[in-house]
Structures are given as structure tokens and as C-alpha cells.
A and B are shown apart, each in its own frame.
Chain A
Amino acid sequence: MKSKIDIKNLNLFIGKQQILKNVNVQIPENKITIILGPSGCGKTTLLKSLNRLTDLYEDVKVSGEIIIDNEDILHSSQDVTAIRKKMGLLAQRPYPLPMSIYKNVAYGIRISESENKKTIPQRVEHHLKQVNLWDEVKDRLNSPASRLSIGQQQRLCLARGLAVNPEIILADEPTSALDPISSQAIEEKFIELKEQYTVVMVTHILRQARRIADYVIFMYLGEVVECGTAEEFFTNPKEEKTKAYIKGAFN
């Protein structure tokens, strides 16, 4: 198992409160890794430190290393924009950009690549097809993204993220605002996408983790309690806390 992201001794403080306590995990390439745990355990913070969105918040102090492709992305000399471009982000609820459906997907391509303006329409079509949205929107590409349903918006956000050719997809409870059918569409898409991408997804839904996880990181109160392959995690957990969580004690 080849690891894509290597997190070493990661500690994160907001003010005096320690959110992440000495996190040491490896996230495998081309697999779906699920970060599991009860609310407030630091799952989202861990995910956001992977593309340094933690930079946006006041009083955040980070120490340790996050190594992606042999580079420590926490190192201050790193180009943050380039790091973020490597990763697509899917948030808890969709945040389409305030522009048309077409421009939402084209936005990332336009700002990152100067050449190949002519191929943008084809690429937009390709990425919309990739998330099964093309047939629903092909006749109204110029209408505002805000008019789509929440489920469609979330798929649009995925297409937009894929359009910048990331290597990693970060997802923070991407189905929590969606209806069951849209959720299923996203889950199925993730299983397809892991052929080409490394998927890291945060969830608190145990059944969802069972359905799609290859690898599980279980967190509790800022610490990684247990991590391992999904099969081992669900059938043969080692830690007491994990056993209790799987039985539903924390939910």
C-alpha cells in the first residue's frame, strides 16, 4: 500500500485549546480514506489542515509535518495556491460560485492555465459528464448555478473541483445536506473516482463509512484512536473506544 499523504506529529491549537493531539497517520493512494468520529473530535480540522485552509482562521498554531509527494506542505516556503490546486474540496453544503453553471466549472481552468482556451468548452462538458450532471444542465449552461437543486449543486462543486486536475479529493461530510438519492450518487461517484484520485472523506455516519471505506481513521477528542483497513476496523477493532463507537455508544 503506497501512501499519498504522510502526517507526522501534527499538533494544532486554536488559542490555548488543543484541537489535534499528536496525529500520526498515513493516507493511502487511490483509496477512499474515511475520517470517522463523533462531532467535535477534530475531523474537519484535520481535513482542512491538509490544504491549509486552517490559515484562514485567527489564532491557529500548527506544528508537525504533512508530507505530500515528498514535500512538507506546512513549510512556510510552500506555494499555498499550488498545494490547494492539488486537492479538490467538497464542503458540508455546496458553495457554488456566484456565476453561471458553465463558468463555475470553467473558473478553475481559466485561472490556472493560460493556454488552451479553445478546449475549455470540451473540458467543461467532460467534467459535467464525469459527475452525471451534463444531461440535466446541457440546455441551461448559462443560467445561474444558484438555481440548481442542492444535490445538483454538490455535484457541480465536485465537477468544478475535478476540473483543476487535482490528485486528492477532500470531502467534509459531503452528503450531510443532501437527500438519500443525491447522497448515493456522490458515494457511487467516489468509488469510481478512486481509480484516479486519492479520496479523503470526513463523516460521522457509520453506515456510510461501511459502504465505501477502504481505510478508516477513527478520531476521538483530537486524537487518532485507531486506523487501519476498513475490513479490519469493522470486523476486528483493537481499541475499546472503537468497539464502543461501532456499537453506537457515541452516537
Chain B
Amino acid sequence: MKLKKTEEIIFKALMYISVSFITASLFLIVFSIFYKGLPSMSWEMVSQTPKGGFYFGKEGGILNAIIGSLYLSIGATILAMLFGIPIALFMNVYLRKYNRFVNGIRFFLDLLWGIPSIVYGAFGFTIMVMLGIKTSLLAGIITVSIFILPIMVRALDEVLKTVPVGLFEASLSLGSTRSETAFRVFIRQTIPGLATAILLSFGRAIGDAASVLFTTGYTDHIPTSIMQPTATLPLAIFFQLGSPIEEVRSRAYSSALILTVIILLISVIARVISAKYNKHRIKF
């Protein structure tokens, strides 16, 4: 009896330690970004593109990278959704009874998830060379969407898996087809989870540097067409951090701060939207 109680105490302690470790590292990251980034944060940083002496610590901002990153990750997320949502619904509504087959698909998606993003970047670059496309926003959007597609599908799939078979049967019994069940019942039941899954993929898209390194290139201008090269925030951070000039390095932290704030804002918006639909969810 006493042994069991000690066991309980030990595991509880381990749990508290790991939770505090994770939260502490999160706070440490956020704190260091704010601490190092705030001093060089200015309206200029978010409202201007780099001017002549920007890379020597003079005037200008990183509006080009902010806009570029938003274009790129919104584009890639939408493109990945166009494929990802139908794939995940197909796996859970149409192929529901072929469990072994669906588990095979899940296995391959997990493999794809594990591939480092630089490999996707190199793959995208190889295709671009073959087709004779230059570094551009379009090439970046396509590469990043391929990179986040397995992440998105698996995340959506985990959410859709939670729909109970009883609800599926109930919808079919009312004479709805599988596609009506998929779009009117499955999506409505899981919309908060789906929003989170899409957001997770968006976070991966906006935060990844390696996949855009060869494919989108870098420029000081805001792109006016999807065929132009585009700057992105992760690469802006990367280039600024590598600078020998103190002011430029400190701007890298400001850029990281901007990236963090964008992700935070989008999480909050998604939470608000999903909370609105959450009330219809049937709890089982």
C-alpha cells in the first residue's frame, strides 16, 4: 500500500518537472526574443523595405519579408488545403471500412512527415531546374505546400478519426450520401480541431527556412507577381544573424519577434473562429 503511494508521488513529481521544463523553455525563448529584439524594434522595421544602407545597420525595415512570408504561407496553406481536406475526408469517410489500407496511407504520410524540409527544398529546386523555372513565389508556394501536406493530412486525419461510427450511421440512415455526410456532418462536428490542424500546418509553413532557401530566393522588393523571387522572415533572420554588424544582428531578433507575433495573432483568430462553431459539436 505504502509502495503504491510512493510510486504515485514520484510520478506526480516527474510530471510537474516535465511540465515546468517545457513551459520554462517556452518562456525563455519568448523572453530572449523580446529582450534582444525590442531595442531595435521600430515602426520603420514593419513599414519599410530595406533601403541602401540597411545591411550595414542603416535605415529601412523588413516589410518585404513580412509581406513575402504571408503571401508564401497563406498561398501554400490554401494549396495544401485543396488537396489535404479531400484526402483526409476520403480516408475517414469513404475508406473507413478498409482499415489496413488506410493505416498503410498513414504510415507513408508519417514517413513523408519525417523528411527534413531541406530535402523538400532540394526536390523543389531539382524540378524547377528541369522545367526551367527561376526562383519565385510560385515555386516556393508549391514546394512549401508539398512539405506541409503530409503534416496537414495527418493532423486532419487524427481529428476526423474521432467522429463516432454512430454519427456516421445516423447521417447515412437519413438518406444522405457519403459526400453529404463528409461535408455536412464530419466537418461540422470537427471544425475546431480542423482549424487547429490547418493552423499547425500554417505555422510550419511560415517558420520554415530550408524549403524556401533554393525555391523562393530573396529580394529587397515586395513581389508584384507570383513569378518574382520573394523574401521570407526565416531567411531574413538567417541573413541578419550572420552579419558581423551588431545593429543588424539585433534586428534579426526583431524579425523573430515579428514572426512570433504573427503566429500568435493567427492562433488567437483561429481559436475565436473555432469557438464559434464548437457549440454545435456533439460530445460523446
Contact = CB atoms under 8 A, between A and B. Distances in A.
Nearest to A108: B174
A81 B279 contact: no
B167 interface: yes
A98 B189 CA distance: 5
A54 to B, nearest CB: 10
Interface string A88-127: 1101110111111000000110011000000000000000
Interface residues of A, number: 36
A219 to B, nearest CB: 21
B279 A84 contact: no
B185 interface: yes
Nearest to B176: A111
A146 B280 contact: yes
Given A53-B169, A95-B166, A164 B280 contact: no
Contacts of A157: 170
B281 interface: yes
Contacts, number: 91
A87 B173 CA distance: 7
Given A96-B282, A144-B279, A81 B170 contact: no
Contact of A95 (B97, B164, B180, B281): B164
A164 B174 contact: yes
Nearest to A103: B280
A50 to B, nearest CB: 11
Interface string B82-108: 000000000000001111000000000
Given A98-B189, A146-B281, A91 B169 contact: yes
A250 B102 CA distance: 40
B29 interface: no
Nearest to B101: A58
Contacts of A33: none
Contacts of B171: 97
Nearest to B177: A81
B172 A97 contact: no
B173 A53 contact: yes
Contacts of A99: 188, 280
B280 A100 contact: yes
A58 to B, nearest CB: 5
* A48, A82, A111, A164, most chain B CB atoms within 10 A: A111
Interface in B255-284: 279-283
A98 B185 contact: yes
B283 to A, nearest CB: 6
A82 B175 contact: yes
Contacts of B185: 97-98
A214 B283 CA distance: 36
Contacts of B189: 98
B282 A95 contact: yes
Contacts of B51: none
Nearest to B98: A58
Contacts of B280: 98-100, 144-146
A241 interface: no
Given A95-B164, A99-B280, A58 B173 contact: no
A36 B129 CA distance: 70
16 contacts: A55-B97, A56-B172, A81-B177, A84-B174, A85-B174, A88-B174, A95-B282, A97-B171, A99-B280, A100-B280, A108-B174, A111-B174, A111-B184, A144-B280, A146-B281, A164-B174
Interface of A: 48, 51, 53, 55-58, 81-82, 84-85, 87-89, 91-93, 95-100, 107-108, 111-112, 144-147, 157, 160-161, 164, 170
Given A91-B170, A108-B176, A111-B175, 19 more contacts: A51-B173, A58-B97, A58-B98, A81-B177, A88-B174, A91-B169, A95-B164, A96-B282, A97-B185, A97-B188, A97-B282, A100-B280, A108-B175, A111-B176, A145-B280, A146-B280, A146-B283, A157-B170, A164-B174
